[in-house]
């Protein structure tokens, strides 16, 4: 019987992605999920693996972290942390917010509201569709001394 290696994943507790579950993929196959503020332990075979995280919104928006390649020896253990990149929403929202401020100076109430929602919608589309792997969510290796 061969000994297994373990991968420990902690999802950082925060309000930004409080209700999102993250799906853990090892070598392209989903092996489990992790929720806000939780830590999960996954047993894998020793050897080389690639791991990544996909958010529960990921099927629609494609938000996956960059893949991390690791090599585990028998009885080896590696720890990782995942979560939402802080302030990831800011670049996609600056222009729409500035445009909304400008639109408030328009005379027509209907035109102001319509254009404001259009610009906000465009900002969210930029945020969720045009993001690269690792720009919205992160996965990084940590040492056990960094665990709370």
Spatial distance between the Cα atoms of 118 and 121, rounded to a whole number of angstroms? 5
pLDDT at 72 over 90: yes
User: pTM for the full model?
Assistant: 0.66
Domain count within the chain: 2
What range does the domain containing 12 cover? 5-85+132-146
80 with 97, same domain: the answer is no
Other C-beta atoms closer than 10 Å to the C-beta of 103 total: 19
CATH number at residue 49: 2.60.40
Other C-beta atoms closer than 10 Å to the C-beta of 53 total: 26
**What percent of the chain has a predicted confidence (pLDDT) above 70?**
57
Tell me the two tokens of residue 128: 């969720």
71 with 107, same domain: the answer is no
18 with 79, same domain: the answer is yes
98 with 29, same domain: the answer is no
Tell me the two tokens of residue 77: 């253990």
Encode pLDDT of 41-60 as tens digits. 999 999 999 998 887 665 55
Q: Which one has a higher pLDDT value, 96 or 59?
A: 96
What mean pLDDT do residues 8-14 have?
A: 85
58 with 17, same domain: the answer is yes
142 with 69, same domain: the answer is yes
Instruction: Please name the residue that has the structure tokens 């950082």.
Output: 12
Tell me the two tokens of residue 64: 């996956």
Other C-beta atoms closer than 10 Å to the C-beta of 136 total: 24
Model confidence at 103, in pLDDT bands (50, 70, 90)? low
Alpha-carbon dihedral 84, 85, 91, 93, rounded to 10 degrees: 20
Q: Which one has a higher pLDDT value, 85 or 4?
A: 4
pLDDT at 128 over 90: no
pLDDT for the residue 1: 46
Spatial distance between the Cα atoms of 115 and 40, rounded to a whole number of angstroms? 45
80 with 140, same domain: the answer is yes
What Å distances lie between residue 79 and 13, 86, 102, 139, 147, CA to CA?
Answer: 16, 21, 48, 10, 9
**Mean pLDDT for all residues in the chain:** 76
């Amino acid at each position: 019987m061969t000994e297994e290696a373990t991968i420990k994943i902690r999802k950082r507790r925060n309000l930004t992605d409080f209700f999102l579950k993250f799906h853990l993929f090892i070598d392209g196959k989903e092996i489990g999920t992790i929720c806000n503020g939780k830590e999960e332990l996954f047993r894998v075979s020793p050897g080389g693996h690639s791991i990544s995280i996909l958010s529960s919104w990921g099927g629609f928006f494609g938000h996956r972290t960059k893949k991390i390649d690791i090599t585990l020896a028998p009885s080896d253990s590696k720890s990782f942390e995942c979560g939402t990149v802080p302030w990831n929403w800011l670049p996609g929202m600056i222009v729409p917010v500035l445009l909304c401020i400008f639109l408030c100076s328009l005379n027509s109430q209907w035109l102001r509201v319509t254009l404001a929602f259009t610009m906000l919608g465009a900002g969210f589309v930029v945020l969720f569709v045009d993001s690269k792997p690792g720009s919205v969510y992160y996965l990084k290796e940590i040492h056990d001394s960094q665990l709370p």
